[in-house]
Amino acid sequence: MIELLPLLLQGTWITIKVTLLGSLVAIGCALLAALGRISPVAPVRWLATVYVEVFRGSSLLVQLFWLYFVLPMPPFNVELSAFAVAVIGLGLNIGAYGAEVLRGAIRAVPRGQAEACHALNLSPMTRFGRIILPQALLAAIPPGTNLLIELLKNTSLVSLITLSDLAFRARQLNQATLMTLEIFGLALVIYFILAQLINLGMRLLERRLARGRMRGGLS
């Protein structure tokens, strides 16, 4: 069992890096697309809608294959490493789902908040950045946590574009040793631990945002 760990940990490190960087891409895409979906500018709104519907309505595996196998071909001629494809593909896919979560959270902020900001003569940027967005982020954290855990689990697909992540290393070790129960049992435990770390981190963030909101309400 001990001799299995080094190779599995190598794959785990790749999985962690893809998850972290993919999460950053997903959060950025979700925020931009959510703002685009509620934009008063029609072309921006249409572009955001196309992005969300395309990435939500098609298979993540096909999206990864497109980025890795199709983009290098004419007329695109864009070649990306397997790691870059994993980060971008997962980020774009989960970001499309996150955009709808964040858009719903923004819409759920009571209209009285915006009316109070108007009464205080706050600028639109100040109103959104200091009043609406913090409340929307707080409401979006529970479903957002689920999406980040989903991103972690979806990293197992990147082994199909030759990236040596945890799932790839587990299959590689299984073929070499036939210790199926031990290898995939360890992989299961590692994925579970990583998911719990994401859950813990998001709970801490939720508490911090909630404390900040309470301080803002008391001031």
- In this prediction, residue 195 has a pLDDT band, given cuts at 50, 70 and 90, of very high
Contact status, residue 194 vs residue 13, Cβ threshold 8 Å = no
pLDDT for 22-62, tens place per residue? Answer: 999 999 999 999 999 999 899 999 999 999 999 999 999 99
Return the residue matching tokens 């299995």: 4
Per-residue pLDDT of 170-190, as tens digits, reads: 999 999 888 899 999 999 999
Query: Dihedrals φ, ψ of 98, to 5°?
Result: -65, -30
**Mean pLDDT of the region 163-171:** 93
Say yes or no to pLDDT of 2 above 90: no
Quick one: pLDDT at residue 212?
64
Name the band, by pLDDT with cuts 50, 70 and 90, for residue 215. Answer: low
Report all structural domains of the chain as residue ranges with CATH numbers, in order of start.
2-218 (1.10.3720.10)
Question: What's the CA gap between 148 and 65, in Å, rounded?
Answer: 21
DSSP structure class, residue 147: H
pTM of the model: 0.90
Instruction: Identify each DSSP E strand in the chain by its residue range.
Output: none
Written as six digits, the tokens of 12 are 């785990």
Helix and strand counts by DSSP (H, E) for the chain: 9, 0
> What's the average model confidence in pLDDT over 87-112?
92
